[in-house]
Amino acid sequence: MSIASNIESIREQMTLAALSAGRKIEDIRLVGVTKTVDAQAAAEVMAAGVTDLGENRVQSFLDKYEVLGDRPTWHLIGHLQTNKVKYIVGKVSLIHSVDSVHLAEAISERAEKEGVVQDILLQFNISGEESKSGKGADEALRFSESVSALSGVRVRGLMTMAPLLAEEKEIREIFAGLRSLSETIKAESFEGFTMEHLSMGMSGDFPAAIREGATLIRVGSALFR
């Protein structure tokens, strides 16, 4: 299968899921996760119409950034160390994986130094799996309040990852949990929070995520099989 036909099939599934949830397809963006392929293949993804690209590691982002520059809309989706923040602030459009106040502070400080405001998402671990990054839902308001004091970041929404091997029902509950957390945070009207995005759903579970309100789905392996 070619990348273009894989994308066509993903778009069809997105449309069906959106229809079944009574949602508009324009409200859902496909982020092509190119972490397993080179810049050439990432360029093919773009040529097939997917201009939002996601990388999970800073180095693999920088390698592709050297080739593709600002043409894609870049998303950093993986765990980020504070000492690497300086390489990406101002270059990536959205950092999905902000899972601590410490990291948010480092991003904000760097953004102020560069005279930009960096868009971020707060990552939550809804499933409670120990192997996953993200704040627990019980810490959401305290975490949000601390981040809201930082003027170099703007919080566009929330992100989560569901367990890879779980029942559909459990996965739906996790996605619904993120949506409900988002409503709770929205109700507080924190300074610097716009909260229009829910980043959830990957190759194996994006239709379920769309039914639960995802606005950004992060799809990798389904592009390249």
Ligand X SMILES: *Cc1c(COP(=O)(O)O)cnc(C)c1O
- Residue nearer to ligand X on the CB measure, 152 or 211: 211
Q: Token pair 């809804």 is at which residue?
A: 126
Beta carbon of residue 123, minimum distance to ligand X (angstroms, whole number): 9
Range list of β-strands (E), the chain: 29-33, 52-55, 73-76, 94-98, 118-123, 153-159, 193-199, 216-219
- How many residues touch ligand X under the rule CB under 6 A: the total is 14
Q: Is 152 a residue that touches ligand X (CB under 6 A)?
A: no
Distance between CA atoms of 209 and 199, rounded to whole angstroms? 9
Site string for ligand X, 43-72 (x = CB under 6 A): -------------x----------------
Which residue, 167 or 189, is less far from ligand X as judged by CB? 167
Q: Does 33 bind ligand X (CB under 6 A)?
A: yes
Q: How far apart are CA 125 and CA 50, in angstroms?
A: 28
State which of residues 35, 84, 132, 186 lies at the interface with ligand X (CB under 6 A). 35
CB closer to ligand X, 85 vs 200:
200
User: Which residue number is nearest to ligand X in terms of Cβ?
Assistant: 220
- Count the residues in the chain: 225
Which member of 77, 185, 209, 216 binds ligand X (CB under 6 A)?
Answer: 77
Based on the shown chain and the rule CB under 6 A, indicate whether residue 91 belongs to the binding site for ligand X: no
Could you say which residues in the range 177-206 bind ligand X, by CB under 6 A?
202-204
Report the run of H or E that residue 156 belongs to, with start and end.
strand 153-159
Tell me how far apart the alpha carbons of residues 154 and 151 are, in angstroms, rounded to a whole number: 8
Contact 124, 135 (CB under 8 A): yes
Contact assessment for residue 124 and residue 141, using Cβ atoms and an 8 Å cutoff: no
- Judged by the rule CB under 6 A, the positions of this chain that interact with ligand X are 33, 35, 56, 77-78, 161, 202-204, 218-222
